[in-house]
Amino acid sequence: MKNIRGLLFGFMALLMIITTACSGSNNAPPANNANAADTSNTVSEQPAKEDVPAPAAEGDAEIRFTWWGDTKRHEIYNAIADLFEKENPNIKIVREFGSWNDYWDKLATQTAGGNAPDVVGMHATQVANYAQRGALLDLTQYVESGVINLDDFPDAVKEVGKLNDQTVMVAQGVTMTGIFYNKGVLEKLGVEPPDFNWTYDEFAAKAKEVKDKFNAKDSWGSNDLSSDLTSVMVYARQKGKNLFNDDGSLGVTKEDMVWWFSFWDKLRKDGITPDAETRAQYATVPLEQSLFVLGKVGFTAVPYNQIPNYQNFIKEGEVHALRRPTDPEGQNGEFIEGAYLSISKSSKHPEAAAKFINFFVNNEEAVKIFKIEQGALGSTKANEIVLPTLDPAQQRAVTAIQDTLEIAGKLPLPPAGQGQVAQALTDVGESMAFGQLTPEQAAEEFVTNAAAILNKK
């Protein structure tokens, strides 16, 4: 247990050092929905309403709480809400939740209509859509008064939740996105697992080896990550750039994207990644029906905190994680991700909402229920509480976070148009997969469309 505790303390110390060194940047990620860093929607240009009713007086309150996730996550969040209601009988929690894509679609509509829930599950790839339009409450007053207690949160973790010196969200969990593999599948195929640090060439070679050992038309070495926004963001950082510049403009060139699309186009044409039809068929299936869980691909990109969730559906073999493939001549591309809680500017019960957020991230019983559902916890004390309760899969998640944290940076805040850019990436990737575009044409179309989208914002 000493080793695990040391690992955790190392994780939190490194987080403070890394983020402090990068404090000049804004912050946001992709990894995630539950499985990937989807950025599917943006909030209407309509600003937050100025005639919001004044906060209600202390007493009975009903607050709405919304989040995204699968059935297991719903059970966890509901259990915490139940516990809060038991200890705070004057506050009722109305729960709203859905899958990743549906969640952001609905929240965007609610926010534009002035009907957003009080407590909002937030993601760093999405926060720009809301905070920059004044849709999120500045939580500073509740932090300073102690209603939301961040005393046990490292400075780096607190900084993640700030925008323009305002605290707009509180970290539930901190994670990064890496490459998953099933150790049991690789052992069965006679394939040695890759080193934690590997290059794009080594990734391609190992994926080919897995494909060859599968020796089956319906099995592949890796998923096709050509249209994964998080992967492109990591790739851009490896080249010393960011997909989105600080001013919200596009940070990659056509030449950058030609290399990227060419790399994945060759893997697909060589049969190492799924064909276009299979890619489309499995694009939106539930986790338990994914190619990786079914044992039909060797590698896929997923946030580290999802190791336990994937392990729940995999009965044979252990899910392990590696960092992203690297460019030996480039820089480290990984960045800190995670999940957060915010309060809508339109909330009629902001103090009750703040009390609930504090309960969620600090209450001993609540954090024991939550564990590392969305990454290592924001609070050092909370991590100490849950440490003895972690199973082997959860411990592997913490280890992967700690190992990658040594080289992870802080991501600039994506602009409001990033959801449309993600869709543009998906569109050209799909067209290329079906042979309608060459890598050069895909790169030209993506850069042109993405630049046009961002120039309108």
Alpha-carbon gap, residue 109 to 152, rounded angstroms: 35
- Whether residues 161 and 182 share a domain: the answer is no
Let me know whether 319 and 345 are in one domain.
no
Tokens 């504090």 identify what position? Answer: 358
Tokens at 46, concatenated: 């309509």
- Whether 377 is in a domain gets the answer yes
Contact of 359 with 351, CB cutoff 8 Å: no
Dihedral sign from CA coordinates of 127, 132, 135, 139: positive
**CA distances (Å), origin 333, targets 39, 88, 159:** 19, 44, 20
Two structure tokens written together for 345: 């500017």
Other Cβ atoms less than 10 A from the Cβ of 409: the count is 17
CA distance 20 to 214: 45
Residue 122 within a domain: yes
DSSP notation for 340-380:
EEEEBTT-S-HHHHHHHHHHHHH-HHHHHHHTTBTBEES-H
Number of domains present in the structure of the chain:
2
Q: How many residues does the chain have?
A: 457
Is residue 6 classed exposed, middle or buried when 0-12, 13-18 and 19+ CB atoms within 10 A define those classes?
A: exposed
As to burial, measured by CB atoms within 10 angstroms (0-12 exposed, 13-18 middle, 19+ buried), residue 275 is middle
Domain assignment present for residue 2? The answer is no
The torsion angles phi and psi of 38, rounded to 5 degrees, stand at -70, 145
Whether 51 contacts 436, CB under 8 Å? no
Residue 347, in any domain of the structure: yes
The answer to whether position 183 is within a domain reads: yes
CA distance 46 to 113: 9
Handedness of CA 128, 129, 131, 133 (dihedral sign): positive
Q: Which residues pair with 319 in a beta bridge?
A: 182
H-helix or E-strand spanning residue 454: helix 439-455
Q: In the prediction, which pLDDT does 18 show?
A: 34
Tell whether 422 and 343 lie within a shared domain: no
Residue 367 lies in a domain: yes
Q: How far apart are CA 439 and CA 446, in angstroms?
A: 10
- Residue ranges for the chain with pLDDT beneath 50: 1-57
Q: Return phi, psi of residue 322, to 5°.
A: -125, 165
Residues 59 and 158 in one domain: yes
388: tokens are 């003895």
Residue 175 near residue 373 (C-beta atoms within 8 A): no
Q: Could you tell me if 227 and 375 lie in one domain? A: no
Beta strands 297-303 and 220-222 are parallel
Please indicate, yes or no, if residue 189 is contained in any of the structural domains.
Answer: yes
Shared-domain flag, residues 328 and 200: yes
Residues 130, 32 within the same domain: yes
Q: Is the domain of 291 the same as that of 184?
A: yes
Tokens of residue 182, six digits:
């099933």
**CA Rg, the chain, in Å?**
21
Residue 401 lies in a domain: no
Query: In the chain, what's the furthest Cα-to-Cα distance?
Result: 67
Q: Do 167 and 266 share a domain, yes or no?
A: no
Q: Determine the structural domain holding residue 152 and report its residue range.
A: 25-175+336-394
| 331 backbone dihedrals φ, ψ, rounded to 5° | -115, 170
> Same structural domain for residues 251 and 360?
no
Q: Which helix (H) or strand (E) holds 302?
A: strand 297-303
In sign, the C-alpha dihedral spanning 258, 260, 261, 264 is positive
My answer on whether 324 and 365 are in the same domain is: no
Residues 277, 130 within the same domain: no
Q: What CATH number corresponds to the domain at position 151?
A: 3.40.190.10
Cβ neighbours for 10, distance < 8 A, ≥ 6 positions apart:
402
315: burial class by Cβ within 10 Å (0-12, 13-18, 19+)?
A: exposed
